[in-house]
Amino acid sequence: MKFVKSTWRNVVLAIGVLIGVGLLATLALREPSLPDFAAAGPVQSVPAETMAVVSGRDLQNIIAGLEGQPVVVNIWGSWCPPCRAEMPLLQRVAESYEGEAVLLGVAVRDDPKVAARFLQDFAITYPNLYDPSGDVLRALEVRVFPTTYVFDANGVIVSRVDGGVSEQRIVGMIEDALRESES
């Protein structure tokens, strides 16, 4: 009788584990939700200085100033290993799409001097801003570093990647945004 009870207990436990694994897999594969954040407010140009301080509202105004072309916003920190790994590919993408799309970096939870040195070490030339208060994090609902957003030519978020992004994926996202802007 003990054998039957322990067998049933093992079967129930195994079913519970399978259901749990299935739910976790579903959540992991699900596309992240897009925050309610879009270009808005008075048009503001991209600051010329590296690591200029921005808020969520400033970022909305900057994206509004870039209307007519897709904008990629990458949230990063110099302390983040996946951020370090993707920085060279983001530079290549920024160079490849110059004049067609704009790439903006936003360093968060970082020392601005360390972040600026990090950009120099990687020879990053696309504009990078600094969010000292975490306002951009909250506005864009960032949950993980890095996080990358693509805005269409009208300043509306059309895609998001939580975690590191491959060059192929970011190129595909930009190409999709460019096709949408042609429609």
pLDDT for res 173: 97
> Is residue 71 within 8 Å of 102, Cβ to Cβ?
yes
Residue 75's closest CA among 163, 158, 156?
163
**Chain centroid, CA 87 distance in Å:** 12
Lowest mean pLDDT among 7-16, 33-42, 110-119, 144-153: 7-16
List the Cα angle 55/56/60 in 5-degree steps.
Answer: 115
Residue 21 pLDDT level (bands cut at 50, 70, 90): very low
Q: Is the pLDDT of residue 12 over 60?
A: no
pTM: 0.82
The H-assigned helical ranges of the chain are 2-29, 56-65, 81-96, 112-121, 135-139, 167-182
Q: What is the pLDDT of residue 1?
A: 58
102-108/71-76 β-pairing: parallel
State mean pLDDT over 156-178: 96
Percent of the chain with pLDDT over 70: 83
Burial class of residue 35 in the structure, from the number of CB atoms within 10 Å of its CB (0-12 exposed, 13-18 middle, 19+ buried) = middle
pLDDT band of residue 31 (cuts 50, 70, 90) is low
Q: How confident is the model at residue 20 (pLDDT cuts 50, 70, 90)?
A: very low
The shares of helix, strand and coil residues in the chain, as percent rounded to the nearest 5, are 45, 15, 35
pLDDT at 182: 81
**pLDDT, tens digit, 9 for 90 and up, residues 113-131:** 999 999 999 999 999 999 9
- At 33-77, the pLDDT tens digits run 888 888 888 999 999 999 999 999 999 999 999 999 999 999 999
Question: Rounded to whole angstroms, what are the CA distances from 31 to 27, 28, 43, 182?
Answer: 8, 8, 30, 25
Helix (H, G, I), strand (E, B) or coil at 181: helix
**pLDDT greater at residue 7 or residue 110:** 110
